[in-house]
Amino acid sequence: MRHFNVAVLGAGGVGKSALTIRYFRDDFVSSYDPTIEEIYHKTIVIDGEVCTLEVMDSAGTEQFTTISEQYITSARGFLLVFSLAQEASLQEVRKLRDQIYRIKGPQAQSRVPIVVVGTKSDLTDEREVRRSTIARLSAEWNLPFYETSAKRNHNVEATFNDLFRQMYTRYPAVTRGRDRDRGSCVIM
């Protein structure tokens, strides 16, 4: 069984926890309670294979910079979260993306599974991040962007599934047993 660990990163108050809780518990939490760290586990099936997921919901990056570096070092995939109602939070995502590439090394840009997530799409009157900005950055960064609403459960599952699919492809299974004992591996 393959195991994937994911870090959910972004500025404080952008909806990282609401997004994660909606995916794992199918519940919407409307009150803001700053997270230090929460870890969620789930078993899913991708292409008929059972995989376990561990998703670490982090504190806002401005609060615990050292901890976020540890998350980046250990995680194999990332959800970079910003609020569509807060332009400054998108700049934080840019910094996080650059930090991931710096920590993961020179090959990271083409190899690390990342999905960029704009939350609070239901707050249309408060929107600050234009769709044209998202389209431009998506093309420039060559990363998938999703607009989500944890409140309305819009695009939440699609966001996580895209990341898990990237990880499933990027980190292929290695067969166990005889091939492993001989020092070779079989990549599916």
- We report the CATH number of the domain holding residue 159 as 3.40.50.300
Its pTM stands at: 0.85
Residue 126 lies in a domain: yes
Report pLDDT digits (tens) over 123-143.
999 999 999 999 999 999 999
What's the pLDDT at 36? Answer: 57
What's the pLDDT at 85? Answer: 97
More confident residue, 13 or 118: 118
Domain that holds residue 108: 2-170
- Dist CA 14 CA 58 (whole Å): 12
More confident residue, 144 or 34: 144
Residue 140 lies in a domain: yes
User: What pairing do the DSSP bridges indicate for beta strands 49-58 and 37-46?
Assistant: antiparallel
Residue 176 lies in a domain: no
Average pLDDT estimate for 27-52: 81
> Could you tell me which residues come within 8 angstroms of residue 81 by beta carbon, excluding any fewer than 6 positions away?
8, 9, 10, 14, 15, 16, 19, 93, 117, 119
Residue 185 lies in a domain: no
Residue 135 lies in a domain: yes
Kindly report which listed range (40-44, 125-129, 132-136, 181-185) carries the lowest average pLDDT score.
181-185
Q: How confident is the model at residue 38 (pLDDT cuts 50, 70, 90)?
A: confident
Residue 187 lies in a domain: no
Q: How many domains does the chain have?
A: 1
What's the pLDDT at 46? Answer: 87
Residue 182 lies in a domain: no
Quote the DSSP letter at residue 100. Answer: H
Residue 186 lies in a domain: no
In contact, 11 and 62? CB cutoff 8 Å: yes
C-alpha 168: how far from chain center:
14
Q: How confident is the model at residue 88 (pLDDT cuts 50, 70, 90)?
A: very high
